[in-house]
Amino acid sequence: MHLRRPARVLLPAVLAAILLAACVTRFEEPGPLEPQGTLSFPSQEEQWFAGVFLAPLEFNGSARPRHWTRPRFAVPPGLLKLRLRAARENLQGSCQLSFEVEAGATYEVEAMSGEDEFTIRVARQGRILAQCVAPASVLPTPLGPPPGVPGH
């Protein structure tokens, strides 16, 4: 098969992009027998009705898990660096926070929206352990309701 010159130039670039995407390191939760803490997010329905959406982007520098919309994640004990994204209507913001995870503990993650910023925090038993403020920027596409939300 004879490819024209532009296709011969593009083909290696496309293959390289596919291979790089496959090599992205994703966060792996500890196994069931390993020590772990629990990171708890509001459910998708709770986020929709509150009007502020919260999603993990990175765990200790690794890309978020493939099933990132779940409300709970097992995390290893030790320092956890978490990069999070909050969004509402047509605004979004992201920031990073760090805190120490203890095995057996549960940590609640929440986001609040201000006029031009988002405050994201992690708490354990009501005590705030870490907090960051993310300036708001305009989303390219306004948010809509997630699939399956009752009444929408």
Q: What b/e readout covers 120-148, taking b as 16+ CB neighbours within 10 angstroms?
A: bbbbbeeeebbebebebeeeeeebeeeee
Tell how far CA 54 is from the center of its chain.
Answer: 7
The whole-angstrom separation of Cα 60 and Cα 105 is 18
The whole-angstrom separation of Cα 42 and Cα 58 is 17
pLDDT at position 33: 85
The whole-angstrom separation of Cα 152 and Cα 150 is 6
Helix, strand, coil percentages, rounded to 5, for the chain: 15, 45, 40
pLDDT tens for each residue of the chain, 152 residues long: 555 555 555 556 555 555 444 455 877 878 888 899 999 999 988 988 888 999 899 999 988 877 777 789 999 999 999 999 999 988 999 999 999 999 999 999 999 998 899 999 999 999 999 999 999 999 877 666 555 555 54
- Radius of gyration of the CA atoms of the chain, in A: 19
